[in-house]
Structure formats: structure tokens, C-alpha cells
Structure 1
Amino acid sequence: MARAGIKVASSPWGPEDQLGALNRLSPEASSAILARADGARSYDLSIDYFVGMPSFQAAGDPSYQLFMSHSPDGTVVDNMNGAGERVNRHVCYSGDVVFMYTHTGTHIDSLSHFGVDGHIYNGFSVEENLGTRGWTKGGAEVIPPIITRGVLLDVAKTRGVECLPDSYAITVDDCTKALSEAGLGLRAGDVAMVRTGRMSFWPDGSKVLGNPPGLSLEAARWLTSQDISAIAADQECVEVGPSQHEDNWLPGHCHFLAEAGVPMIELVNLEELSRDGVAEFCLIAAPIRLRGASGAPLRPIALPLRGN
């Protein structure tokens, strides 16, 4: 197998920059794409969270859990608020707790998620910037609301299949053909969204997760050369798995995050966009601002553009 040869990059936006490619977003571009958006239709590109949902647990990370911390009957019995039985029977109170790995479901990887040789994007080191409560640089809280042009690269449709085969490595040619068939090109600041077809099997974990078809490192490098602001895909890691490179078990992650400064959005549901032939759209997405976290849940919304 080949070697990936990935190195951490310094940001062209300065030594303190934590946004990387998200610097390509601008109020002017956001305003322009919003002006073209058709608000009468919207596509929710996220998946719902539920106990038993498919999630990445191979490395020992916890599955999604939700349990009640308060229930109407329990509030009456416990009387922890001191309101008494009569009032607590009148007020029907429920509360719950969520426990999960931050890279569960539809989510965005912050730039601190993967690095190389003890450093993340822009040279921030583990020794100086990672504490016991998360990263002080490149965490999920610095990711701004993403309002930009989204472009669907429907590779599965281009290849005439419902879903790409397991471990299929998407090539540069696959990407350019998908764009050509849609009559589109990528522009600076776009979010490129790659459809493999995996989400057509959701929520069957045996078909959604494991040995994913995804971007080859060559295709990943071609996409970042187009000055995109973020990359997204409908499977768990954007890139092909297992790795094709002997020196790196997730070279795509290391390239996008540490070398190119491009955040990654994973487990995006692109099925309805593909079904309706919507390949260009206004994308609106924002993560939960989890300070210091390497990722956070995300709810991307696609609004078709007028005239499409």
C-alpha cells in the first residue's frame, strides 16, 4: 500500500486562526445564497437520535442513551421541588438526560478531531492546548453558523447504483462526472456533499456502518483544492474504509482536518435531495457549541434555489 504522507498545515489566515476553510464563508456570500433560496420547500438532512440507533462503538465509545431524570409520577413521590403532592399531580413534569459520543448521528468534526504527530491544524500542540476539559483551540464552539451554497455530488446515481459497493474508493473522475451530470462546478466557500447511497439503508446498522464506500485520498485532495469550506457525506467517515495507506488508518480525516483545515460533516441524509434531483441549494447548518469538543451534533437544512 502507498503512504499518505500527510503533514499539519499552517493557516493562511494567521497563526491564531481556528476556523481554517470556514474563513471562506462571508456575509456577502450568505446573503446572496439566501436571496436565491426557495423557502417554500426544505430538506432536513439530519437523522433522528434514538436508543439503539447505529453508532460508532468499535473503539469503545458509548452508544446513544436517553433516560428520564424526572417523570410526572416520580415528581409526586420524590417531591424534590417541595411543592407537595397536590401541586405536583397538577403539574405534569418530565425531564431527561442524554449520554453519547459526540460523533454520533449527523454531526460535524471540528479541526481538533484529528491531527498529525501531536499537532492539529495550524500547529496547535497537544501539550499546550489540550486540557482535561477538552481542547482550548479548534473546538466545536468556534464553528460559526454555516450559510452557503451546498452542492450534491451524487456518485451513486452517476454510477447507476442504489448504493456504492463496500469499500469502494471514490475517484476524482467520479467527482467530476457527478458534477458534470448535474451541470455544476464547485466554487470557493461551497460545502460539497457526497452521496454513496449508504443512507438508503438507515437505520439498519449492518448495512449503514462498516467498510464504507467513500472518498479516496486523491479525491479528497482534489475537493479541497476547489476551496470548499466543508465536506459532507452520507456515511460514517466521508472517506473510504479501510484505509488504502499503510502509514495512516484515517488519511482522509488527517488531510481534511489537519492538512486542509476543512471540517467534516458525517451521516448526512441525502436521499431526498437525490430523489428530487436537487443538486444545488442553500445550506443552513449550525452545531451545538460544545466548548473544547472534537465534534458536535448538526442539523443541516437544504433550501432549493429558485428556478431549479
Structure 2
Amino acid sequence: MSEAAFRELYRRLREPAPAGGEHRRGALDLITPERVVAAAAGVRSGRTVSLAAPVETRPGPDSPEPATHRMTAPTDREGHEHGLYFARDRFAMNVHGDVDSHLDALCHVMFDGALYGGVPAGTVTPDGAGTLTVDLVRDGIVGRGVLLDVPRLRGVPWLDPGDQVTADDLAAAETAQGTRVGPGDLLLVRVGHRLRRRTLGAWDVTRERAGLHPTAMRFLAERQVSVLGSDGNSDAAPSAVAEVPFPVHVLAVNAMGVHLLDWLDFEELVPVCEEQARWHFLCVVAPLRLPAATGSPVNPIAVL
């Protein structure tokens, strides 16, 4: 895809975005109270499934700076003597890494000097982001989740690194699974990344990974999707646009105001959806309350 074609697509997808104001929730405004109630009413079995992968604490090809976890208490003597003691620990992570499940806030992507809605990129400083932060979703994201399984559609266990999901793939997956993505939905696209990683081992995903083709974002715009999630990071590598390394991030976050959920895990969800013969569910996402942050680790929960 040429840079000129990408920029034209960016312009078209950006046009509906409202101008001005610093506290917009972007496409999350599509999740109305009525849609939340409808999603909750669709719960049948009450079964819950985590959509997050276990946090990685060991370095690997896709995680050169893994999360760190260490115990700060008890000491060697504490806990073995008479009296009260507490076990304590400390945790730190690179939120926007390439392995741990996380949410991208609307301040995460700067393009041509601006954030979503034309907010100046200068509002993000070394001290933190001044607007469009994770704090916009401090009350959580609750709505109807829809899982589209592209490897299942193609009859393969996973998409090979570098493969790209098109709008036609998404529409065909809908038909094959007997579901349809609608306004305010949290669209979750499985490319099989987690299954491939567990089967063949980790690899350098900065060079090769499966994801969406930029033109697939037209599908999201037409269906008025509120959130996009994937078991990859939604962007394929190498990029379909040589001049823009993460075109889907630019289009989703910066142009459309769509929050991204990166590096999720759908391998426990797929068999449950197959068993219940439905691919939609109540989805609950609860980011940490980090007022100046550009993202947050998350453990989204599907309730079926």
C-alpha cells in the first residue's frame, strides 16, 4: 500500500472524529447504557474466561525487557517465628511490550504531531500524558465482545508471521461463525499467535507477525466498532505501508479513537464458543487507574 493511499484512508477514517475537547472517550461513546444492558442480558451459562496471557518474567526473543517480580517480604527469618507477618512483593513492566496483554490509551499514538482528534502531541511529556490517558476508561470497558477466528476460517491452526487479515476475511468469518459485528462491539480478532508461540516457541515479532491489513479498518468503521483486540498487536510485520511501521495503530487509535487490546489470549475462549455455538459474549475490561499513563496491563474477562 502506498503512503499516499494510506494517508487518504487515514483522512477518510479521521473525518467523523469530533474536534476539540480534551476528555473525549473516542469510539467508546458507541457503548451506550442500552448496549451494555443488552450484552449483559445475553449471558447464558455465567461461565467466565480470561482473555489475558500470563505475564512473562523471563527474557525471550519477543520480550527482551520482561516484567520483573520480586518478593520484598518475608525475610529468611520472618514468618517462621511467633507473631504476625505479611508476604509482600513488587512488580514492574514495560506496558507496551510485545508479549504481555495490555490496553493502548488514545494518547499512545502520535502521528504528524498530533494525537486523536487533533490534540497536540506535546501534551505527552517525559512526566506523563496530559490528556486522552488510561484515566478515560477508569470506569472500565463493558460491552458485547465478538470473536472472529480467522485461522478457523482458513482451516489452519494459526496465521503465519507476515500474513494479513483483510476486510473480506472478517466478513467471511462472520458468516462462517453465524455472527455479526455491530455498533459499540468489542471486536476481537484471532490470528493464532499464542498457539503458534506455545507450539513452536517465541520469535522476534518486531520483524514478522500476523495482523490486520490497514484496509480492514474500513470494516471497523462501517460496523462502528468501539474496541479492537487481538492475540497479536493488530499490526502485521512487515508493514503493508513501508513508510508507516504500525498503520493499524495509527488508523485505530489516532484516526478513529478506537482503544486497542494487544497480545491477548483466545485459546481458552475458542473451545467454549464452539461448545456453546456462539461467538459473542459480555466482555469486561478493567485497566489500572493510572491517570497519566499511555496504557495499562489488563485481564479482560468474557462472560458467556
Q: After TM superposition, what 4+ stretches of structure 1 lie above 3 angstroms from structure 2?
A: 6-11, 53-58, 201-205, 207-210
- Do residues 133 (structure 1) and 127 (structure 2) align? yes
Q: Which deviations, in whole Å up to 9, do the C-alpha atoms of 1:4-33 show, x marking residues without a partner?
A: 213566733753343100111122211221
Q: Are 1:68 and 2:71 matched, yes or no?
A: yes
Shift of 1:90: 2.4
Shift of 1:55: 8.0
For this pair of structures, how many residues does the alignment match?
Answer: 289
Which structure 2 residue ranges, 5 or more long, are not aligned?
none
How do 1:162-241 residues align onto structure 2 when only pairs under 5 Å count? 162-203=157-198, 206-207=202-203, 209-210=205-206, 211-235=208-232, 237-241=233-237
* Matched residue, 1:24: 30
Equivalent residue runs for 1:81-160 within 5 Å: 89-104=82-97, 105-127=100-122, 129-143=123-137, 144-160=139-155
2:48 equivalent to 1:42 = yes
| Residue 33 (structure 1) aligned to one of 14, 20, 39 | 39
Aligned to 1:52: 58
Identical positions, percent: 27
State the distance in 2 between where 1:258 and 1:295 align: 14
TM-score w.r.t. the length of structure 1 is 0.86
Q: Distance in 1 between matches of 2:57 and 2:63?
A: 14
Superposed CA RMSD in Å reads: 2.4
- Give the Cα separation in 1 of the matches to 2:249 and 2:188: 15
Provide TM-score, normalisation by structure 2.
0.87
The one-letter code of the counterpart of 1:110 is: A
Work out whether residues 169 and 213 of structure 1, in 8 Å CA contact, stay in contact via their aligned partners in 2: yes
Gaps of 5+ in 1: 77-85
1:118-176 Cα distance to aligned partner (Å, 9 max, x none): 2100111122x123321111111211411111111110000000001110011111111
Change beyond 3 A, Cα 1:253–1:240: same
The whole-number CA distance in structure 2 between the counterparts of 1:93 and 1:208 is: 40
Contact 1:72 1:94 in 2 (8 A): no
Q: Rg: which structure is higher?
A: 1
CA–CA separation in structure 2 for the residues paired with 1:274 and 1:241: 25
CA distance in structure 2 between the partners assigned to 1:9 and 1:140 by the alignment:
24
Please tell me whether the aligned partners of residues 67 and 98 of structure 1 are also in contact (alpha carbons under 8 angstroms). Answer: yes
Q: Tell whether the 8 Å contact from 1:283 to 1:303 is kept in structure 2 after alignment.
A: yes
